[in-house]
Chain A
Amino acid sequence: MRKALDSLYLLGGVLGGIALAAIAAIIIAQVVGRQFGLTVLGADDLTAFSVAASATLPLAYAFRLGAHIRVDLIIGRLKGSSRLIMESIALILTAGLTLFFAYSMADLAFDSFQFEDVAQGSVAWKLWVPQALCAFGAALFAVCLLDDLAAHLTGGTPSYRNAAEMNALDRAGQEL
């Protein structure tokens, strides 16, 4: 179970990386194509879709590595049970919110599918495909918050805390 979830989050991260590289690749194709008088049809919309995919698919992956920021001023100073309670509140609120977020994105994709919405650019891309990818990313995010909520309530350490202990600078130092 643990392994399956972790590889699912990593899959989101890898897909996000591919989406980011795709943004670069599409624009390079556009620029090079222009030199030879060719236009890459629908490229602007594809770029926009890739941006959306690169923003949503790795949400869970980034969260577990402690990349998302929060205000640490109060929660960082609390100790003991008050800390546990506050962490629980934050996790319950966000887990509920991300479930709704995933539902909204899925609803959007479903609407686009039902009404056969297409992009307005030079190629009429079907909108539900990229929207479904975003919904998948949002769903992963919700699963990941529920996962951490469960870990926290059963007395474990949430993933982002483990990651935060090795803070950004240490990581940078190690990499160099």
Chain B
Amino acid sequence: MELAQTEAGLLLLGLLFLFLGLGVWIGLGLMLVGLCGVILLPMLMPSMPTFPAEKVMGTAIWQSLASWTLAALPLFIWMGEILFRTRLSEDMFRGLAPWVQRLPGRLMHVNVIGCGIFAAVSGSSAATAATIGKMSLPALTQRGYHLPMAVGSLAGAGTLGLLIPPSIVMIVYGVAAEVSIVRLFIAGVLPGIMLMVLFSGCIMLWSMMNPSLTPPRDPSIPLSRKLKESGQLIPVVLLIMFVMGSIYFGWATATEAAVFGVVGALALSAWGRTLTWKSFIDSLMGAVRLSCMINLILAGAAFLTQAMAYSGIPAAMAAWVGAQGFSPYMIIACLTIIYLVLGCFIDGISMIVLTVSVVLPIIQGAGFDLVWFGIFIVLVVEMAQITPPVGFNLFVLQGLTNMGIFQVARYTLPFFFMMILAVAMVALFPAIVTWLPATMLSR
């Protein structure tokens, strides 16, 4: 029997869904499909060269893991794990609350701004939503804020963790797509700020339409006390500025900046007297577990990519899409829908790793910039985090509030629409993404 490349591609896709559906762990499922590809495809497609499976697997996985670029990933995860174990959550609420009292929507902006700041020190959106929500949700409900809006703004803003650098998802994309991580980090800044403005705008608009649902201001406190309360935040802000500044001004590579982040986070934790031998070991082992899980997925995907490259499937698929004469916007719209559907089954990182080898040739063929596509894909993955029935941020909020997942999702809906708006803006005005890296790195 002889198979065409597109049919072989569909066969592998079917196998992948079968394995993942059976409950095979994602990284191992990818590896298993890769193994099927190396062993089965040459039998089905006589034109394809055969290779000894163990050699292909050993080399592909070794090359993907023994990578200097990949070092940024465990380090940034470690940095987040250290800060997660400090008192940052309380400091954030106390420090931000006095400044947002005058905005329509008042303390709800703490969710957005707090998530924005925490996102800059942590790469994960679940950690961001959990850290900020732990303090702000009880405080907001206690003061009588409208619960749906409080929950929704937290779930929505929590996704900023993916977009505002340093972001784990961006490192994964950068490694998988061989795009400069520094460039991705710089490109994420403007869209991240834009999204924060959209979220805050959404809260303001809502509270101006429903003035009765926002509780009155807290009694105002003198400026000196305001500054004192916010003083706790200064070290964190300095850490962010130092880590990101060292990347942006080209003093350090992403990996070196990650080490500065780890050292800074340890110093911060020592300064706040939360650094103990136990918390140090806990953060290290937490980082080991999380990065080990992500690396297994990357390793499985690297092997699968290698297996597919031999068969020529990605190139054939790209050629097929090219031959259909889709407009670039249509490709983007289709991909958005595919990612949102995929996001119901698998998490963001797996989604990116899984699709990059097939989607990138198509994207390049359609003339898109790979850095731009990286930011686009991160935005869409963010959306997937708050799309029911499976969205990681929804799970976090479910855990924090004991509400049903669909209820949380309904409350998050306005912020979901803001994200669609953001994706549309980024698609229509690619300069939002490309302008900053182009100006900063041209010097």
Q: Which residues of chain B in 28-68 are interfacial with respect to chain A, using CB atoms and an 8 Å cutoff?
A: 28, 31-32, 35, 53-55, 57-59, 61-62, 65-68
**Most B CB atoms within 10 A — which of A23, A98, A131?**
A23
B25-A54 in contact (CB<8A): no
List B contacts of A103 (CB < 8 A): 54
In the bound complex, do residue A44 and residue B68 qualify as a contact, i.e. CB atoms below 8 Å apart? Answer: yes
Q: Is there an interface contact between A73 and B293, defined as CB atoms closer than 8 Å?
A: no
Taking the closest CB of chain B, its distance from the CB of A24, in whole angstroms, is 5
A sample of 29 inter-chain contacts (CB < 8 A) reads A23-B75, A24-B75, A45-B68, A48-B66, A48-B70, A49-B66, A52-B67, A54-B291, A54-B295, A58-B288, A58-B289, A59-B296, A65-B289, A67-B290, A67-B293, A68-B25, A70-B20, A70-B24, A90-B23, A93-B24, A93-B32, A101-B31, A103-B54, A104-B58, A105-B58, A107-B55, A111-B55, A169-B399, A169-B400
Interface residue B130 (Cβ < 8 Å from any Cβ of A) = yes
**Interface residue stretch chosen among B195-203, B206-214, B256-264:** B256-264
Flag if A75 contacts B67 (CB, 8 Å): no
CB–CB A56/B65 < 8 A: yes
List 5 additional A-B contacts (Cβ < 8 Å) besides A23-B74, A27-B71: A55-B291, A61-B289, A90-B22, A131-B62, A172-B130
B contact residues around A48 at 8 Å (CB):
66-68, 70-71
Assess the B61–A59 pair: CB atoms within 8 A. no
CB distance from A91 to the nearest CB of B (A): 9
Name the B residues within 8 Å of A71 (CB-CB).
20-21, 23, 26, 345-346
- In the complex, whether A151 has a CB less than 8 A from a CB of chain B is no
A101 to B75, CA, bound (A): 26
Kindly identify, within residues 223 to 270 of chain B, every residue whose CB is under 8 Å from any CB belonging to chain A: 252, 255-256, 259, 262-263
Q: Decide: A69 and B289 in contact? CB cutoff 8 A.
A: no
Within the complex, what minimum Cβ distance (angstroms) separates B167 from chain A? 18
Hey, what's the 0/1 contact readout for B62-88 against A, CB within 8 Å counting as 1? 100111101100110010000011000
Q: Are A20 and B66 in contact (CB under 8 A)?
A: no
Once the chains bind, are B65 and A52 in contact (CB under 8 Å)? yes
- Range of interface residues on A (Cβ < 8 Å): 35 or more
Say yes or no for A165: interface residue by CB 8 A criterion. no
Instruction: Write the chain A residue with the least CB distance to B396.
Output: A169
- Do B292 and A175 have beta carbons less than 8 Å apart? no
Contact A70 B26 (CB under 8 A): yes
On whether the beta carbons of A27 and B256 are closer than 8 Å, the reply is yes
Contacts of B295 in A (CB 8 A): 51, 54-56
Digitize B179-208: 1 where CB-to-A-CB distance is under 8 Å, 0 elsewhere. Answer: 000000000000000000000000000000
Whole-angstrom CA separation of A133 from B438 in the bound complex: 42
Is B27 positioned at the interface, with any CB of A under 8 Å from its CB?
yes
Q: How far is the CA of A30 from the CA of B259 in the complex (A)?
A: 11
In the assembled complex, the Cα of A11 lies from the Cα of B145 at a distance in Å of 49
| B35–A100 CB distance below 8 A | yes
Chain A residues 123 to 175 lying within 8 A of chain B, measured CB to CB, are 130-131, 134, 167, 169, 172, 175
For B293, the chain A residues whose CB sits under 8 A away are 62, 67-69
A89 to B252, CA, bound (A): 47
* CB-based contact B68/A51 at 8 Å: yes
A13 in contact with B285 (CB, 8 Å):
yes
Query: What is the bound-complex CA distance between A74 and B390, given in angstroms?
Result: 13
Given contacts A68-B293, A75-B22, A86-B22, contact A100 B54 (CB under 8 A): yes
Q: Scoring A residues 107 to 122 as 1 if CB is less than 8 Å from chain B, else 0, what string do you get? A: 1100100000000000
Let me know if B345 and A108 touch, CB within 8 A.
no
